[in-house]
Structure 1
């Protein structure tokens, strides 16, 4: 099972419910599935949410620090990344649309910390809606009697052909042999969104496509291309079937995004298509999103730094309006947080009453050192996050502040940018 990894985490549990209080350390565990040989792994969002430390152990026994690069809270899926010493094995994704009641399945994962545990069972029911708590409800789950235990979350539910047909997500408390998994067809769509280069790399291709399944075959077809986009300029047309991009075979949207992932603006990719049954190769040159130089947030730094300003529309006032704070850059060497892991930060000089920042405990004098996956060394960094085209997918924003020499964090929900 070289494509299945074990996930270990540490997070701080705050006993009295207040945002900025010291709490006790809690260890967590889960499972992940390698979806790209470069170290991209899909798991459940609840496995990695709000963790302070995240590590992944591969099938070989090697352990790596991991970073959350994107997530969908509602769908309870996340992509994490490790910098492995070499290419990782991936696991084939099957289909869940043709599952039958009574079909044999296996659940694989880090059950109770026992790595690479396998349990067997069958598909007990389909299209189950499950409310775990007042904050998390699932729709259209696969129910199975294969034992899914704590630590299995994020691991695969596989058929007897070894294909992933679901991602294990929940168990029924107090019941035996009642577990649930997200259907892989649903997960495919979310994974494609989470691997989107517009989200992770600030480059774009401008192609809108759809996954098509014909019998046992899958293919990725072009629906439309945005005018003036790289896909349009390459000559891609609605109805084209994309066979390969660069060296990566493509059968769905996730494959297409993987093939573009990590490529800088200006990179020219060979796109092999089939048009009316005739294969041909087109050239697609990736472009920077919104005309900005590309940079990747999917890299090992804990909080990567955006270096360009996405919008110049009154950034100070928009930060005040959307976030509710006024910020100033730290100037002196001492203020630049020498002796900490941070390269710099922004001092909070004013907090607006009843603003998102005030409601979430941010105070005058705090040093804002990070938002979501990015550090905040200057005001451009904050504007970049507030203007990000994928803001909705990572809102509420996780923020990091320094107060009294201690790093604290919380979450703040902000309105979409008004430009």
Structure 2
């Protein structure tokens, strides 16, 4: 037999004390919705659809589709390098349906970024790049793009992690990558990841097939560096020594004899003829442990150390050769720029 007296008592108490928690939940939901709506209305008009067309070796035409973000009123557009690829025909379509041709100002396969210039003469809606260093885990972010061809699609999530590293298409490591659970699909590539302050804090670049809620965006600070290099030089300047290498463990006894703390290093597999590495006297099998005062604990550290500030300088390099420490001076040069064929 049910005891309904307690139910009546509970009803009386609840009538005297309204469920403020439910009210708060509604308020929070409205705040969340308003934040997403505000970001969409402010940044959405600056998101464009990037359409590409390229000719295959068999003579057939192949089209591609991605997203981009206009970052200046005169038509500078950031997108992914893999969206542009080797395409010779590029068009962008804005949120109002306007279509214009675009040309590539420069690409950077190492960060999977490309900078386009729209040929339109009219002012375009644009969005500002924010400071990705101010991001925090759990922060609200919004992704806007054209997944699977569905234009102006909005998804929301949070910053899942910061400082991730992923591989670019050419094997180099893209550093300081943002991980998010905002849903991304093919076609979102090149679109913006936006903060609640309506600032672009990332360029969406990668998803993991078969995984849910694990997506990546190149940080806006990286994008800012890349676009400034492209505008100034037409490409991103990086140092080059002419080696292929892999991360390898350093035997403890070798580290003790050499007086180093490294447990890993960059094992040189091949050297290009007449490269800075060959001219410096490096040999296949050498293990790089230090460069210009920076510890090298693997191939990623070596790649990271070869930045534009070390172009044209003579650097001190420490290597292990047959378990013995050696000091070598090396003179990195500027790496050849990626050249796009336009005709």
Partner of 1:3: 46
The answer to whether the aligner puts 1:67 opposite 2:103 as a matched pair is yes
The structure with the larger Rg is 2
CA distance in structure 2 between the partners assigned to 1:399 and 1:89 by the alignment: 30
Moved more, 115-124 or 31-40: 31-40
List runs of 5+ in structure 1 lacking aligned partners. Answer: 14-20, 201-390, 401-408, 410-419
Partner of 1:128: 164
Once the 2 structures are TM-superposed, how far is the Cα of residue 154 of structure 1 from its aligned partner?
Answer: 1.0
CA distance in structure 1 between the partners assigned to 2:156 and 2:135 by the alignment: 16
Once the 2 structures are TM-superposed, how far is the Cα of residue 23 of structure 1 from its aligned partner?
Answer: 4.4
Alpha-carbon distance change, 186 to 133 in structure 1, aligned in 2, over 3 angstroms: closer
Q: How does 1:157-176 map to 2 (within 5 A)?
A: 157-176=193-212
Once the 2 structures are TM-superposed, how far is the Cα of residue 74 of structure 1 from its aligned partner?
Answer: 1.1
Contact kept? 2:159, 2:179, Cα under 8 Å: yes
Alpha-carbon distance change, 92 to 38 in structure 1, aligned in 2, over 3 angstroms: same
Partner of 1:12: 55
Contact kept? 2:86, 2:341, Cα under 8 Å: no
Q: How does 1:7-406 map to 2 (within 5 A)?
A: 7-13=50-56, 21-131=57-167, 135=171, 137-196=173-232, 199=234, 395-399=337-341
SS in 2 for 1:189: helix
CA RMSD, Structure 1 to Structure 2 (Å): 2.3
Once the 2 structures are TM-superposed, how far is the Cα of residue 139 of structure 1 from its aligned partner?
Answer: 2.2
SS in 2 for 1:112: helix
CA distance in structure 2 between the partners assigned to 1:132 and 1:93 by the alignment: 22
CA distance in structure 2 between the partners assigned to 1:102 and 1:114 by the alignment: 27
User: Which structure dedicates a bigger proportion of its chain to helix?
Assistant: 2
Once the 2 structures are TM-superposed, how far is the Cα of residue 26 of structure 1 from its aligned partner?
Answer: 2.3
SS in 1 for 2:71: strand
CA distance in structure 2 between the partners assigned to 1:36 and 1:87 by the alignment: 9
Partner of 2:316: none
Task: Give the TM-score of the pair, scaled to structure 1.
Answer: 0.45
CA distance in structure 2 between the partners assigned to 1:104 and 1:177 by the alignment: 14
Once the 2 structures are TM-superposed, how far is the Cα of residue 135 of structure 1 from its aligned partner?
Answer: 3.8
Task: Give the TM-score of the pair, scaled to structure 2.
Answer: 0.55
Partner of 2:6: none
List runs of 5+ in structure 2 lacking aligned partners. Answer: 1-43, 236-332
User: Which structure dedicates a bigger proportion of its chain to strand?
Assistant: 1
Contact kept? 1:71, 1:394, Cα under 8 Å: no
Alpha-carbon distance change, 132 to 70 in structure 1, aligned in 2, over 3 angstroms: closer
Contact kept? 2:101, 2:120, Cα under 8 Å: no
Alignment length, in residue pairs? 203
CA distance in structure 1 between the partners assigned to 2:337 and 2:222 by the alignment: 22
Partner of 1:384: none
SS in 2 for 1:90: coil
Contact kept? 2:194, 2:200, Cα under 8 Å: yes
Contact kept? 1:111, 1:152, Cα under 8 Å: yes
Once the 2 structures are TM-superposed, how far is the Cα of residue 11 of structure 1 from its aligned partner?
Answer: 2.0
CA distance in structure 1 between the partners assigned to 2:168 and 2:339 by the alignment: 23
Query: Which structure ranks higher in relative contact order (CA pairs < 8 Å, sequence separation ≥ 6)?
Result: 2
SS in 1 for 2:54: strand
Alpha-carbon distance change, 392 to 49 in structure 1, aligned in 2, over 3 angstroms: farther
Alpha-carbon distance change, 136 to 6 in structure 1, aligned in 2, over 3 angstroms: farther
Once the 2 structures are TM-superposed, how far is the Cα of residue 184 of structure 1 from its aligned partner?
Answer: 0.8
Alpha-carbon distance change, 116 to 395 in structure 1, aligned in 2, over 3 angstroms: same
Once the 2 structures are TM-superposed, how far is the Cα of residue 165 of structure 1 from its aligned partner?
Answer: 1.0
Contact kept? 1:72, 1:394, Cα under 8 Å: no
